[in-house]
Amino acid sequence: MKNLLLPQQTSSFLESLFQNVSDAILVIDKSGTIIAVNKSFERLSGYAAEELIDRINLCQVCIGMATCSEEMTCVECFAHRQKMPAFEMFVRAKGGEEFPVAASSTRLPDEGLGALVLILRDITEQQRVERERHQRQLTNYVIQAQEEERKRISRDLHDGIGQALYSILVGLRVVNQLRLEDTVMQHLDEVKQLTSRTLEEVKNLSVELRPSALDDLGLVPAVRSYLKRFEQTFGIESELTVIGSRRRYHSAVETALYRILQEAMTNSAKYADTDQIYVTLEDQDEQIRLTVVDRGAGFDPEHLRIKGTGLGLFGMRERANLLGGAVAIDSAPGKGTTIDVTIPLDERGGPKHDRSIVDRR
Ligand SMILES: Nc1ncnc2c1ncn2[C@@H]1O[C@H](COP(=O)(O)OP(=O)(O)O)[C@@H](O)[C@H]1O
Ligand SMILES: [Mg+2]
């Protein structure tokens, strides 16, 4: 070691360095017995140095390592190698808990007795963050793919089957003008009515899948017509309050709020036993806020009693989270339910903290 220290200072400097670095250091001899540990390793493993040194073999604290090709293998154990610059090792601490560490190993030369030095760093938190990021990315892909698919099927229904049915209807009207026998006319009338009903159903299905108004006109008009259709379907009235003058938002924001509204209102229709829902869309410049309030049956959000798939409230949160927003659920039995969604916005109506990685529009 080249330094400015006197020889007697060097040894205590090295000891202090060994003991105080934040990475855990573990040294084993050729048989795998632990011969030295630093304070960070004591903290990491939960063992005191006296419990480890000369008493415990590496295999009692190491439950395997991961290489690129295999998880938790002992076949390619680093202890048989001169050097492994980077690998993942799984540690079992004194209390029995197991966790991953990023490791590197180096064999000391002969004057160092051929001992193997391991430097370890706990990566539990890093892996949790990485898993969450990956999960978020997947959720985002699924949501986007589902939305694209709905858009495509909705257009196909409207422009394809819808147009074909309309042409059939026009043809039937032409035939209707011919002077035909009464029985044929009666038959024709039935077919016309059936075609007309089917056309209506196809249109509804298309709008239900994804209203073109959401892309063409924006959130507020799409919400207005949704509330109208909702009243016709469920017989539940709704009151919409719109605050703020901005009318268009980023399509991801519009889609998320529309889908959250749909889920919240469907839940009210299914479970709240109410005849009135209050919807507010408030543009607060820095954020957009959607509230859906029913004064119906309510429920205990801490102890959900799932009656359907149970994915609705979860999906609302996922959609809002992906755009850096949040959903607050305020509900109690007998008191009704308030779903309160906020999404922080930038000045162009886009999500301020877009946490999804995929490119949009
Ligand atoms: N507006 C509401 N009024 C009463 N209960 C509700 C309301 N919204 C949700 N719930 C309750 O919360 C549960 C979970 O809702 P959700 O996650 O949408 O799942 P699902 O609708 O598939 O059951 C429902 O099963 C219901 O018990
Ligand atoms: Mg639901």
pLDDT at 246 over 90: no
Cβ atoms 41, 25 nearer than 8 A:
yes
Average pLDDT of the segment spanning 86-106: 93
In angstroms, what is the span from residue 294 Cα to ligand 2's centroid? 14
pLDDT band at 52 (very low <50, low <70, confident <90, very high): very high
What Å distances lie between residue 59 and 23, 28, 134, 214, CA to CA?
A: 20, 11, 32, 61
List CB contacts of 11: < 8 A, sequence separation 6 or more.
none
State which ligand 1 atom lies nearest to the alpha carbon of 296.
Answer: 3
In contact, 60 and 52? CB cutoff 8 Å? no
8 Å CB contact between 281 and 240: yes
Which ligand is the nearest neighbour of the Cα of 331? 1
Which one of 194, 210, 226 terminates a domain? 210
**Has residue 40 been placed in a domain?**
yes
308 lines ligand 1 (CB under 6 A): yes
CATH number at residue 84: 3.30.450.20
Cβ atoms < 10 Å from Cβ of 174:
8
Confidence of residue 361 (pLDDT cuts 50, 70, 90): very low
Do residues 226 and 149 both lie within one domain?
no
Please tell me whether residues 69 and 137 are part of one structural domain.
no
Does residue 307 line the site of ligand 1, with CB under 6 A?
Answer: yes
Give Cβ neighbours of residue 244 (< 8 Å, ≥ 6 apart): 281, 282, 283, 284, 285, 288
Question: Is the beta carbon of 303 within 6 A of some atom in ligand 1?
Answer: no
Cα of 278 from ligand 1 centre, angstroms = 17
Q: What are 176-222's pLDDT values in tens digits?
A: 888 888 899 999 999 999 999 999 999 999 999 999 999 999 999 99
Nearest protein Cα to ligand 1, atom 8: 267
Residues 35 and 70 in one domain: yes
Q: Is residue 60 part of a domain?
A: yes
Looking at residue 144, its amino acid is Q
Full residue range of the structural domain in which residue 177 is found: 124-210
Minimum CA distance residue for ligand 1 atom 9: 267
CA–centroid distance, residue 338 to ligand 1 (Å): 12
Q: Are 30 and 50 in contact (CB under 8 A)?
A: no
Report CA-CA distances (Å) from 221 to 32, 101, 200, 213, 351: 71, 53, 21, 7, 20
Q: Is 313 in the pocket of ligand 1 (CB under 6 A)?
A: yes
Please determine, for residue 360, whether its predicted confidence score (pLDDT) is greater than 70.
Answer: no
Name the nearest CA neighbour of 341 among 275, 309, 293: 293
pLDDT at position 69: 66
Both 117 and 158 in one domain: the answer is no
pLDDT digits (tens, 9 = 90+) for 134-181: 998 999 999 999 999 999 999 999 999 999 999 999 999 999 888 888
Average pLDDT, the chain: 91
The answer to whether position 13 is within a domain reads no
Residues at Cβ < 5 Å from ligand 2 ion: 267, 312
Residues 105, 188 within the same domain:
no
Instruction: Tell whether 221 and 319 lie within a shared domain.
Output: yes
Question: SS3 of 3, please?
Answer: coil
CA distances from 118 to 1, 82, 106, 320 (A): 20, 12, 7, 44
**In a shared domain, residues 177 and 219:** no
Residue 2 is assigned to a structural domain of this protein: no
The answer on 228 and 342 residing in a single domain is yes
Look at residues 130, 148, 51 and name the one whose alpha carbon lies nearest to residue 95. Answer: 51
| pLDDT at site 307 | 78
Q: Are residues 47 and 172 in the same domain?
A: no
Which of 82, 101, 122 is the endpoint of a domain?
Answer: 122
Query: Residue 66 to residues 5, 8, 24, 175, 340: CA-CA distances in angstroms?
Result: 41, 41, 19, 75, 45
Q: Within this chain, do residues 239 and 349 fall inside the same structural domain, yes or no?
A: yes
Q: What is the rounded distance in angstroms from the CA atom of residue 299 to the CA atom of residue 334? A: 8
The CATH code of the domain that includes 344 is 3.30.565.10
From the CA of 313, the nearest ligand is: 1
**255 in a domain, yes or no?**
yes
Atom 21 (ligand 1) nearest CA:
308
Task: State the distance from the centre of ligand 1 to the C-alpha of 267, rounded, in angstroms.
Answer: 5
Domain assignment present for 12? no
Q: Which residue has the higher pLDDT, 8 or 206?
A: 206
Looking at all shown ligands, the one closest to residue 330's CA atom is: 1
Per-residue pLDDT at 210: 93
Q: Which ligand number lies closest to the CA of residue 315?
A: 1
Q: How confident is the model at residue 72 (pLDDT cuts 50, 70, 90)?
A: low
pLDDT > 90 fraction of the chain, expressed in percent and rounded = 74
Number of domains in the chain: 3
Residue 354 has a pLDDT of: 81
> Last residue of a domain, which of 122, 137, 158?
122
pLDDT digits (tens, 9 = 90+) for 325-342: 999 999 999 999 999 999
Say if residue 55 is in the same domain as residue 143: no
Question: Residue 291: enclosing H or E segment and its boundaries?
Answer: strand 287-294
Q: Does residue 93 belong to any structural domain of this protein?
A: yes
The CA distance from 301 to 317, in Å, is 13
**One domain, residues 155 and 116:** no
3-state secondary structure of 334: coil
Task: Tell whether ligand 1 has an atom less than 6 A from the beta carbon of residue 267.
Answer: yes
Does some domain include residue 146? yes
Closest CA to 333 of 273, 275, 280: 273
Question: E strands, 57-97, where?
Answer: 62-66, 83-92
pLDDT at 8 over 80: no
Q: pLDDT over 70 for what percent of the chain?
A: 96
